[in-house]
Structure 1
Protein backbone atom coordinates (compact mmCIF):
# COMPACT_ATOMS: atom_id res chain seq x y z
CA UNK A 1 0.00 0.00 0.00
CA UNK A 2 2.97 2.31 0.40
CA UNK A 3 4.44 1.66 -3.04
CA UNK A 4 2.50 4.33 -4.90
CA UNK A 5 3.92 7.62 -6.10
CA UNK A 6 0.70 9.63 -5.73
CA UNK A 7 -2.59 9.23 -3.93
CA UNK A 8 -6.09 10.54 -4.60
CA UNK A 9 -9.52 10.44 -3.00
CA UNK A 10 -12.18 9.42 -5.49
CA UNK A 11 -15.72 8.22 -5.72
CA UNK A 12 -15.85 4.81 -7.40
CA UNK A 13 -18.99 2.71 -7.85
CA UNK A 14 -19.55 -0.21 -5.56
CA UNK A 15 -19.18 -3.69 -7.10
CA UNK A 16 -21.96 -4.35 -9.56
CA UNK A 17 -23.12 -3.92 -13.12
CA UNK A 18 -22.05 -0.27 -13.54
CA UNK A 19 -18.59 -0.90 -12.11
CA UNK A 20 -18.13 -3.98 -14.30
CA UNK A 21 -19.22 -2.24 -17.49
CA UNK A 22 -17.15 0.88 -16.79
CA UNK A 23 -14.03 -1.20 -16.15
CA UNK A 24 -14.54 -3.00 -19.46
CA UNK A 25 -15.33 0.24 -21.30
CA UNK A 26 -12.16 1.94 -20.04
CA UNK A 27 -10.13 -1.25 -20.25
CA UNK A 28 -8.76 -1.02 -16.72
CA UNK A 29 -10.15 -2.38 -13.45
CA UNK A 30 -8.60 -0.47 -10.52
CA UNK A 31 -9.99 -2.97 -8.02
CA UNK A 32 -8.31 -5.97 -9.63
CA UNK A 33 -5.37 -3.95 -10.90
CA UNK A 34 -5.80 -5.58 -14.30
CA UNK A 35 -6.66 -4.78 -17.89
CA UNK A 36 -10.15 -5.76 -19.06
CA UNK A 37 -11.27 -6.70 -22.57
CA UNK A 38 -13.43 -3.94 -24.09
CA UNK A 39 -17.12 -4.45 -24.87
CA UNK A 40 -18.30 -4.97 -28.44
CA UNK A 41 -20.49 -1.96 -29.23
CA UNK A 42 -21.77 -1.19 -32.69
CA UNK A 43 -21.95 2.34 -34.04
CA UNK A 44 -18.76 3.68 -32.51
CA UNK A 45 -16.74 6.07 -34.71
CA UNK A 46 -13.43 4.40 -33.76
CA UNK A 47 -12.25 1.55 -31.51
CA UNK A 48 -13.17 1.72 -27.82
CA UNK A 49 -9.48 1.56 -26.93
CA UNK A 50 -8.87 4.75 -28.88
CA UNK A 51 -11.85 6.56 -27.36
CA UNK A 52 -10.80 5.69 -23.80
CA UNK A 53 -7.02 5.89 -24.09
CA UNK A 54 -6.63 9.05 -22.00
CA UNK A 55 -8.84 8.19 -18.98
CA UNK A 56 -7.94 4.49 -18.94
CA UNK A 57 -5.09 4.66 -16.45
CA UNK A 58 -7.24 6.36 -13.79
CA UNK A 59 -10.02 3.80 -13.77
CA UNK A 60 -13.68 4.78 -13.58
CA UNK A 61 -14.01 7.43 -10.89
CA UNK A 62 -15.21 10.84 -9.82
CA UNK A 63 -12.49 13.04 -8.35
CA UNK A 64 -12.96 14.46 -4.85
CA UNK A 65 -9.34 15.24 -3.95
CA UNK A 66 -7.05 15.24 -7.00
CA UNK A 67 -3.84 13.18 -7.10
CA UNK A 68 -1.09 14.42 -4.78
CA UNK A 69 2.25 13.35 -3.41
CA UNK A 70 2.41 12.65 0.31
CA UNK A 71 4.22 15.00 2.60
CA UNK A 72 4.22 12.51 5.48
CA UNK A 73 3.45 8.87 6.30
CA UNK A 74 0.60 7.11 4.54
CA UNK A 75 -0.69 5.90 7.90
CA UNK A 76 -1.45 9.49 8.92
CA UNK A 77 -3.53 10.02 5.77
CA UNK A 78 -5.44 6.81 6.46
CA UNK A 79 -6.14 7.85 10.04
CA UNK A 80 -7.57 11.16 8.88
CA UNK A 81 -9.63 9.51 6.13
CA UNK A 82 -11.16 7.15 8.68
CA UNK A 83 -11.94 10.07 11.00
CA UNK A 84 -13.40 12.08 8.12
CA UNK A 85 -15.75 9.23 7.24
CA UNK A 86 -17.06 9.06 10.81
CA UNK A 87 -18.10 12.73 10.72
CA UNK A 88 -19.63 12.97 7.24
CA UNK A 89 -22.87 11.45 6.01
CA UNK A 90 -23.50 9.77 2.65
CA UNK A 91 -24.56 12.06 -0.19
CA UNK A 92 -27.79 11.25 -2.02
CA UNK A 93 -28.47 12.67 -5.48
CA UNK A 94 -31.26 11.98 -7.96
CA UNK A 95 -29.16 10.01 -10.43
CA UNK A 96 -26.54 10.13 -13.17
CA UNK A 97 -26.82 11.04 -16.85
CA UNK A 98 -24.54 10.76 -19.87
CA UNK A 99 -23.31 14.17 -21.02
CA UNK A 100 -20.80 15.77 -23.33
CA UNK A 101 -18.54 18.15 -21.40
CA UNK A 102 -16.46 20.17 -23.80
CA UNK A 103 -14.75 17.55 -25.94
CA UNK A 104 -15.26 14.47 -23.76
CA UNK A 105 -18.10 12.29 -22.49
CA UNK A 106 -18.86 11.73 -18.83
CA UNK A 107 -21.57 10.80 -16.39
CA UNK A 108 -22.75 13.80 -14.36
CA UNK A 109 -25.04 13.87 -11.31
CA UNK A 110 -28.58 15.21 -11.28
CA UNK A 111 -30.48 16.78 -8.41
CA UNK A 112 -29.34 19.20 -5.72
CA UNK A 113 -25.54 19.17 -5.95
CA UNK A 114 -24.96 21.27 -2.83
CA UNK A 115 -24.23 18.33 -0.46
CA UNK A 116 -21.80 16.83 -2.99
CA UNK A 117 -20.01 20.14 -3.50
CA UNK A 118 -19.76 20.57 0.27
CA UNK A 119 -18.36 17.04 0.68
CA UNK A 120 -15.76 17.62 -2.02
CA UNK A 121 -14.65 20.92 -0.50
CA UNK A 122 -14.36 19.32 2.92
CA UNK A 123 -12.27 16.45 1.51
CA UNK A 124 -9.91 18.89 -0.21
CA UNK A 125 -9.39 21.04 2.87
CA UNK A 126 -9.45 18.37 5.60
CA UNK A 127 -6.75 16.25 3.97
CA UNK A 128 -4.57 18.99 2.55
CA UNK A 129 -1.96 18.74 5.27
CA UNK A 130 -0.96 15.43 3.65
CA UNK A 131 -0.37 17.00 0.22
CA UNK A 132 3.18 17.90 -0.73
CA UNK A 133 3.34 21.21 -2.64
CA UNK A 134 3.07 20.88 -6.40
CA UNK A 135 6.34 21.22 -8.28
CA UNK A 136 7.01 23.92 -10.85
CA UNK A 137 6.56 21.51 -13.77
CA UNK A 138 3.13 20.47 -12.51
CA UNK A 139 2.10 24.08 -11.92
CA UNK A 140 3.24 25.04 -15.42
CA UNK A 141 1.25 22.16 -16.91
CA UNK A 142 -1.89 23.31 -15.12
CA UNK A 143 -1.39 26.91 -16.18
CA UNK A 144 -0.90 25.91 -19.81
CA UNK A 145 -4.64 25.17 -20.00
CA UNK A 146 -5.36 28.87 -19.43
CA UNK A 147 -6.66 29.68 -15.94
CA UNK A 148 -8.90 32.42 -14.65
CA UNK A 149 -7.55 34.54 -11.78
CA UNK A 150 -9.70 32.55 -9.34
CA UNK A 151 -8.46 29.23 -10.73
CA UNK A 152 -4.90 30.49 -10.39
CA UNK A 153 -5.57 31.32 -6.74
CA UNK A 154 -7.04 27.87 -6.13
CA UNK A 155 -4.03 26.26 -7.79
CA UNK A 156 -1.70 28.19 -5.49
CA UNK A 157 -3.72 27.31 -2.37
CA UNK A 158 -4.80 23.72 -3.04
CA UNK A 159 -2.50 22.49 -5.82
CA UNK A 160 -5.36 22.17 -8.33
CA UNK A 161 -7.46 24.83 -10.07
CA UNK A 162 -10.79 23.01 -10.24
CA UNK A 163 -11.75 22.69 -6.58
CA UNK A 164 -14.15 24.54 -4.26
CA UNK A 165 -16.54 26.67 -6.35
CA UNK A 166 -14.76 25.55 -9.55
CA UNK A 167 -15.48 21.88 -8.76
CA UNK A 168 -17.63 19.97 -11.25
CA UNK A 169 -18.15 16.31 -10.35
CA UNK A 170 -18.04 13.91 -13.30
CA UNK A 171 -17.14 10.33 -14.16
CA UNK A 172 -15.05 10.44 -17.32
CA UNK A 173 -15.81 8.02 -20.14
CA UNK A 174 -13.65 9.28 -23.00
CA UNK A 175 -10.69 11.33 -24.05
CA UNK A 176 -11.02 14.34 -26.34
CA UNK A 177 -13.35 13.76 -29.28
CA UNK A 178 -14.55 15.80 -32.19
CA UNK A 179 -18.21 16.81 -32.06
CA UNK A 180 -19.09 14.14 -34.60
CA UNK A 181 -17.15 11.47 -32.71
CA UNK A 182 -18.73 12.52 -29.41
CA UNK A 183 -22.24 12.39 -30.89
CA UNK A 184 -21.71 8.95 -32.41
CA UNK A 185 -20.10 7.58 -29.25
CA UNK A 186 -22.87 8.97 -27.07
CA UNK A 187 -25.53 7.46 -29.33
CA UNK A 188 -23.87 4.04 -29.18
CA UNK A 189 -23.15 4.15 -25.46
CA UNK A 190 -26.38 5.66 -24.14
CA UNK A 191 -28.75 2.68 -24.54
CA UNK A 192 -26.18 0.32 -23.04
CA UNK A 193 -25.29 2.36 -19.99
CA UNK A 194 -28.73 3.84 -19.24
CA UNK A 195 -30.09 0.68 -17.52
CA UNK A 196 -26.98 0.57 -15.30
CA UNK A 197 -27.30 4.08 -13.88
CA UNK A 198 -28.41 4.22 -10.23
CA UNK A 199 -31.55 6.00 -9.08
CA UNK A 200 -30.93 7.53 -6.64
CA UNK A 201 -27.17 7.99 -6.94
CA UNK A 202 -25.63 7.57 -3.48
CA UNK A 203 -22.03 8.23 -2.46
CA UNK A 204 -21.60 5.99 0.57
CA UNK A 205 -17.83 5.97 0.90
CA UNK A 206 -14.57 7.61 -0.07
CA UNK A 207 -12.06 5.60 -2.10
CA UNK A 208 -8.34 5.96 -1.59
CA UNK A 209 -6.54 5.37 -4.88
CA UNK A 210 -2.82 5.05 -5.50
CA UNK A 211 -0.85 5.70 -8.68
CA UNK A 212 1.71 3.02 -9.48
CA UNK A 213 5.02 3.71 -11.20
CA UNK A 214 3.46 2.85 -14.57
CA UNK A 215 0.83 5.58 -14.11
CA UNK A 216 -2.08 3.19 -13.50
CA UNK A 217 -4.35 3.92 -10.54
CA UNK A 218 -5.43 1.22 -8.08
CA UNK A 219 -8.18 1.17 -5.47
CA UNK A 220 -6.52 0.78 -2.08
CA UNK A 221 -9.47 0.94 0.32
CA UNK A 222 -12.99 2.30 0.87
CA UNK A 223 -13.80 4.50 3.86
CA UNK A 224 -17.47 4.53 4.82
CA UNK A 225 -19.30 7.83 5.28
CA UNK A 226 -21.15 7.14 8.52
CA UNK A 227 -21.57 10.54 10.15
Structure 2
Protein backbone atom coordinates (compact mmCIF):
# COMPACT_ATOMS: atom_id res chain seq x y z
CA UNK A 1 0.00 0.00 0.00
CA UNK A 2 1.24 3.49 -0.83
CA UNK A 3 1.61 6.35 1.66
CA UNK A 4 -0.09 8.94 -0.53
CA UNK A 5 -1.89 9.08 -3.85
CA UNK A 6 -2.06 11.73 -6.56
CA UNK A 7 -3.85 12.32 -9.85
CA UNK A 8 -1.49 13.73 -12.45
CA UNK A 9 -1.39 14.27 -16.15
CA UNK A 10 1.50 12.19 -17.45
CA UNK A 11 2.35 11.84 -21.15
CA UNK A 12 1.44 8.50 -22.65
CA UNK A 13 4.32 6.07 -22.06
CA UNK A 14 6.55 5.56 -25.07
CA UNK A 15 5.86 8.98 -26.58
CA UNK A 16 8.77 11.38 -27.18
CA UNK A 17 7.65 13.72 -24.39
CA UNK A 18 7.29 10.89 -21.87
CA UNK A 19 10.73 9.52 -22.76
CA UNK A 20 12.28 12.98 -22.55
CA UNK A 21 10.67 13.76 -19.18
CA UNK A 22 11.77 10.49 -17.59
CA UNK A 23 15.36 10.90 -18.79
CA UNK A 24 15.56 14.58 -17.85
CA UNK A 25 14.28 14.05 -14.30
CA UNK A 26 15.97 10.68 -13.82
CA UNK A 27 12.81 8.82 -12.77
CA UNK A 28 10.33 6.87 -14.88
CA UNK A 29 7.13 6.76 -12.82
CA UNK A 30 5.36 4.58 -15.41
CA UNK A 31 7.87 1.77 -14.96
CA UNK A 32 9.07 2.60 -11.44
CA UNK A 33 12.76 2.86 -12.26
CA UNK A 34 15.62 5.34 -12.29
CA UNK A 35 16.83 6.64 -15.66
CA UNK A 36 20.18 7.80 -16.98
CA UNK A 37 20.11 11.60 -17.14
CA UNK A 38 21.67 13.58 -20.00
CA UNK A 39 25.27 14.71 -19.72
CA UNK A 40 25.33 18.44 -20.53
CA UNK A 41 28.55 20.43 -20.27
CA UNK A 42 28.41 23.05 -17.53
CA UNK A 43 25.12 21.80 -16.12
CA UNK A 44 24.50 19.47 -13.17
CA UNK A 45 21.23 17.97 -14.36
CA UNK A 46 20.94 15.65 -11.35
CA UNK A 47 21.22 18.56 -8.92
CA UNK A 48 18.79 20.91 -10.66
CA UNK A 49 16.15 18.16 -10.97
CA UNK A 50 16.55 16.77 -7.46
CA UNK A 51 13.36 18.31 -6.04
CA UNK A 52 10.87 17.21 -8.74
CA UNK A 53 12.49 13.83 -9.44
CA UNK A 54 10.48 11.76 -6.97
CA UNK A 55 7.17 12.80 -8.55
CA UNK A 56 8.19 11.87 -12.08
CA UNK A 57 7.41 14.02 -15.12
CA UNK A 58 3.88 15.30 -14.60
CA UNK A 59 1.35 18.08 -14.43
CA UNK A 60 -0.61 18.13 -11.19
CA UNK A 61 -4.37 17.65 -11.39
CA UNK A 62 -5.21 16.56 -7.82
CA UNK A 63 -2.17 16.99 -5.55
CA UNK A 64 -0.82 14.19 -3.32
CA UNK A 65 -3.05 13.17 -0.43
CA UNK A 66 -3.44 10.47 2.19
CA UNK A 67 -6.51 8.26 1.91
CA UNK A 68 -9.39 9.19 4.19
CA UNK A 69 -10.61 6.69 6.77
CA UNK A 70 -13.16 4.34 5.29
CA UNK A 71 -11.82 4.64 1.74
CA UNK A 72 -9.61 2.26 -0.20
CA UNK A 73 -7.17 2.48 -3.08
CA UNK A 74 -9.51 0.24 -5.08
CA UNK A 75 -12.38 2.64 -4.50
CA UNK A 76 -10.21 5.55 -5.61
CA UNK A 77 -9.29 3.71 -8.79
CA UNK A 78 -12.94 3.04 -9.56
CA UNK A 79 -13.86 6.67 -8.94
CA UNK A 80 -11.08 8.01 -11.16
CA UNK A 81 -11.97 5.52 -13.92
CA UNK A 82 -15.58 6.71 -13.81
CA UNK A 83 -14.48 10.35 -13.77
CA UNK A 84 -12.39 9.82 -16.91
CA UNK A 85 -15.26 8.18 -18.78
CA UNK A 86 -17.24 11.39 -18.17
CA UNK A 87 -14.39 13.70 -19.20
CA UNK A 88 -13.24 14.62 -22.69
CA UNK A 89 -9.64 14.90 -23.89
CA UNK A 90 -8.20 18.42 -23.88
CA UNK A 91 -6.42 19.98 -26.83
CA UNK A 92 -4.05 22.86 -26.15
CA UNK A 93 -2.56 25.26 -28.65
CA UNK A 94 0.78 23.94 -27.48
CA UNK A 95 3.25 23.63 -24.63
CA UNK A 96 6.13 26.07 -24.19
CA UNK A 97 9.20 26.28 -21.99
CA UNK A 98 8.71 29.00 -19.36
CA UNK A 99 10.29 30.34 -16.19
CA UNK A 100 7.87 30.19 -13.29
CA UNK A 101 9.62 32.22 -10.65
CA UNK A 102 12.88 30.37 -10.02
CA UNK A 103 12.05 27.09 -11.76
CA UNK A 104 11.50 25.89 -15.32
CA UNK A 105 8.41 24.17 -16.65
CA UNK A 106 6.36 23.47 -19.75
CA UNK A 107 3.13 25.47 -19.65
CA UNK A 108 0.15 25.74 -22.01
CA UNK A 109 0.06 28.22 -24.83
CA UNK A 110 -3.20 30.02 -25.49
CA UNK A 111 -6.54 29.26 -23.84
CA UNK A 112 -6.24 26.54 -21.19
CA UNK A 113 -9.67 27.04 -19.60
CA UNK A 114 -10.90 23.56 -20.54
CA UNK A 115 -7.90 22.05 -18.75
CA UNK A 116 -8.51 24.22 -15.69
CA UNK A 117 -12.14 23.07 -15.63
CA UNK A 118 -11.07 19.42 -15.83
CA UNK A 119 -8.65 19.91 -12.93
CA UNK A 120 -11.25 21.74 -10.83
CA UNK A 121 -13.75 18.92 -11.31
CA UNK A 122 -11.15 16.32 -10.34
CA UNK A 123 -10.18 18.24 -7.20
CA UNK A 124 -13.80 18.54 -6.11
CA UNK A 125 -15.26 15.19 -7.15
CA UNK A 126 -12.40 13.08 -5.79
CA UNK A 127 -12.07 15.01 -2.55
CA UNK A 128 -14.02 12.52 -0.41
CA UNK A 129 -11.00 10.20 -0.75
CA UNK A 130 -8.61 12.78 0.78
CA UNK A 131 -7.79 12.67 4.47
CA UNK A 132 -7.75 16.09 6.18
CA UNK A 133 -4.40 17.82 6.55
CA UNK A 134 -2.66 17.69 9.90
CA UNK A 135 -1.63 20.84 11.75
CA UNK A 136 1.95 20.09 10.72
CA UNK A 137 0.84 19.95 7.07
CA UNK A 138 -0.90 23.31 7.37
CA UNK A 139 2.08 24.94 9.06
CA UNK A 140 4.46 23.67 6.38
CA UNK A 141 2.31 24.97 3.54
CA UNK A 142 1.70 28.34 5.20
CA UNK A 143 5.43 28.97 5.32
CA UNK A 144 5.09 29.88 1.61
CA UNK A 145 3.23 33.11 2.56
CA UNK A 146 -0.06 32.21 0.96
CA UNK A 147 -2.67 34.72 -0.09
CA UNK A 148 -6.04 34.61 1.71
CA UNK A 149 -7.56 32.79 -1.29
CA UNK A 150 -4.76 30.22 -1.34
CA UNK A 151 -5.04 29.65 2.40
CA UNK A 152 -8.78 29.08 2.06
CA UNK A 153 -8.13 26.47 -0.63
CA UNK A 154 -5.50 24.85 1.57
CA UNK A 155 -8.01 24.41 4.37
CA UNK A 156 -10.89 23.29 2.14
CA UNK A 157 -9.13 21.25 -0.55
CA UNK A 158 -5.77 20.35 1.02
CA UNK A 159 -3.67 22.41 -1.42
CA UNK A 160 -3.41 26.15 -2.08
CA UNK A 161 -3.00 26.17 -5.84
CA UNK A 162 -6.32 24.78 -7.05
CA UNK A 163 -9.48 26.12 -8.72
CA UNK A 164 -8.95 29.85 -9.43
CA UNK A 165 -5.32 29.57 -8.23
CA UNK A 166 -4.51 26.66 -10.57
CA UNK A 167 -1.82 26.97 -13.24
CA UNK A 168 -1.02 23.80 -15.12
CA UNK A 169 2.68 23.08 -15.63
CA UNK A 170 5.01 20.16 -16.28
CA UNK A 171 7.90 20.77 -13.88
CA UNK A 172 11.46 20.54 -15.20
CA UNK A 173 13.53 21.79 -12.26
CA UNK A 174 13.64 22.82 -8.64
CA UNK A 175 14.31 26.41 -7.60
CA UNK A 176 17.47 27.65 -9.31
CA UNK A 177 19.75 30.64 -9.01
CA UNK A 178 19.95 33.01 -11.97
CA UNK A 179 23.12 31.60 -13.64
CA UNK A 180 21.85 28.02 -13.36
CA UNK A 181 18.37 28.76 -14.69
CA UNK A 182 19.90 30.60 -17.64
CA UNK A 183 22.16 27.64 -18.50
CA UNK A 184 19.31 25.14 -18.08
CA UNK A 185 16.97 27.26 -20.19
CA UNK A 186 19.55 27.42 -22.96
CA UNK A 187 20.05 23.64 -22.83
CA UNK A 188 16.31 23.07 -23.13
CA UNK A 189 15.63 25.76 -25.72
CA UNK A 190 15.45 23.39 -28.70
CA UNK A 191 13.24 20.86 -26.90
CA UNK A 192 9.78 22.03 -28.08
CA UNK A 193 10.64 21.73 -31.77
CA UNK A 194 12.09 18.25 -31.23
CA UNK A 195 9.06 16.98 -29.30
CA UNK A 196 6.25 18.34 -31.52
CA UNK A 197 4.35 20.11 -28.72
CA UNK A 198 2.03 22.26 -30.83
CA UNK A 199 -0.82 21.49 -30.78
CA UNK A 200 -0.77 19.24 -27.72
CA UNK A 201 -3.55 16.83 -26.77
CA UNK A 202 -4.05 15.49 -23.24
CA UNK A 203 -5.73 12.12 -23.58
CA UNK A 204 -5.61 10.61 -20.08
CA UNK A 205 -5.11 11.04 -16.35
CA UNK A 206 -2.84 8.93 -14.18
CA UNK A 207 -3.24 7.66 -10.64
CA UNK A 208 0.11 7.41 -8.85
CA UNK A 209 1.17 6.22 -5.42
CA UNK A 210 4.09 7.28 -3.23
CA UNK A 211 6.26 4.47 -1.88
CA UNK A 212 8.12 4.38 1.45
CA UNK A 213 11.16 5.99 -0.19
CA UNK A 214 9.06 8.94 -1.38
CA UNK A 215 9.06 7.96 -5.07
CA UNK A 216 5.85 8.06 -7.08
CA UNK A 217 4.77 5.10 -9.22
CA UNK A 218 2.07 4.86 -11.87
CA UNK A 219 -0.82 2.68 -10.71
CA UNK A 220 -2.93 3.13 -13.82
CA UNK A 221 -3.38 5.63 -16.65
CA UNK A 222 -7.03 6.19 -17.56
CA UNK A 223 -8.10 7.43 -20.99
CA UNK A 224 -10.34 10.49 -21.15
CA UNK A 225 -13.26 9.19 -23.18
CA UNK A 226 -16.17 11.51 -22.31
On whether the aligned pair clears a TM of 0.5, the verdict is: yes
Aligned length: 223
Q: Among residues 1, 4, 7, which one is paired with 2:5 in the alignment?
A: 7
Contact map agreement 1:97 1:197 (CA 8 A) in 2: no
SS at match of 1:112: coil
Matched position secondary structure for 1:88: coil
Q: 1:157: Cα distance to partner?
A: 0.5
Give the match's secondary structure for 2:51. coil
SS at match of 1:107: strand
- TM-superposition CA deviations, 1:58-93 (whole Å, max 9, x none): 100000000000111111111111111111111110
* Residue equivalent to 1:68: 65
For residues 101 and 48 of structure 1, what CA distance do their matches in structure 2 show?
Answer: 18
Partner of 1:223: 222
Aligned to 1:148: 147
Show CA shifts across 1:137-158 (max 9, x none).
1111100000111111111100
User: Which structure 1 residue ranges, 4+ long, deviate > 3 Å from structure 2?
Assistant: none
Unaligned runs of 5+ in 2: none
Task: After TM superposition, list the pairs within 5 Å mapping 1:19-168 onto structure 2.
Answer: 19-42=18-41, 44=42, 46-71=43-68, 72-168=71-167
Contact 2:95–2:192 (CA under 8 A) maintained in structure 1: no
TM-score, with length taken from structure 1: 0.95
Give 3-state SS (helix, strand or coil) of 1:54's partner: helix
What RMSD over aligned residues (CA atoms) do the two structures have, in Å? 1.1
Residues 96 and 197 of structure 1 are in contact (CA less than 8 Å); yes or no, is this contact kept in structure 2? no
- CA apart distance, 1:107: 0.4
Q: TM-score, normalised by structure 2?
A: 0.96
- In 2: Cα distance, 1:215 partner to 1:194 partner: 33
Deviation at 1:22, TM superposition (A): 1.2
Given that 1:210 and 1:217 are in contact with CA atoms closer than 8 Å, whether structure 2 keeps it comes out as yes
Deviation per CA, 1:20-57, whole angstroms, max 9, x where unpaired? 11111101111111111111223x4x311011011111
Helix, strand or coil at the partner of 2:95: strand
Answer yes or no: is 1:169 the counterpart of 2:168: yes
Separation (CA, whole Å) in 2 of partners of 1:25 and 1:226 = 30
